[in-house]
């Protein structure tokens, strides 16, 4: 089964680029696939630029509107994601618990719904 893992944190809570703490965190990210290979397979994963670069699109009554920034005002911002394949939710949660963001933000895990075309 596929799982989407969403990484949230307050801006400024993560280690600062160029510091030993940042380098250690990135090493953890880069080694996740190898460390968790018995529990999950990474299909995709990326960090996202800051929420100030986001544009939200809505469409109502045929009219498209764009708004700068994320749709919801929250303290924590979506900062990255992983798409993994794992046998069970337990395996997906074990993978998520190893993501460094879990120490200073939150990590959301959701099963991916598969839609079949008829």
4-50 pLDDT tens trace: 999 999 888 889 999 999 999 999 999 999 999 999 999 999 999 98
- Phi, psi at 35, each rounded to 5°: -65, -30
> All domains of the chain, ordered by start, with CATH?
2-111 (3.30.70.1060)
CA distance 77 to 68: 14
47-105 pLDDT tens trace: 999 888 988 888 999 999 998 876 566 678 899 999 999 999 999 999 999 999 999 99
Kindly tell me the burial class for residue 84, based on how many C-beta atoms sit within 10 Å of its own C-beta (0-12, 13-18, 19 or more).
buried
Residue 66 in 3-state DSSP?
A: strand
pTM of the model: 0.86
């Amino acid at each position: 089964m596929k799982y989407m893992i969403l990484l949230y944190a307050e801006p400024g809570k993560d280690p600062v680029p160029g510091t030993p703490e940042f380098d250690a965190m990135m090493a953890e990210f880069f080694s996740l696939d190898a460390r968790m290979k018995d529990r999950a397979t990474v299909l995709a994963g990326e960090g996202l630029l800051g929420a100030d670069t986001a544009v939200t699109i809505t469409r109502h009554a045929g009219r498209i509107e764009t708004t700068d920034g994320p749709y919801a005002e929250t303290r924590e911002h979506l900062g990255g994601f992983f798409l993994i394949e794992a046998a069970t939710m337990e395996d997906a949660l074990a993978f998520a618990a190893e993501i460094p963001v879990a120490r200073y933000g939150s990590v959301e895990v959701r099963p991916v719904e598969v839609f079949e075309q008829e």
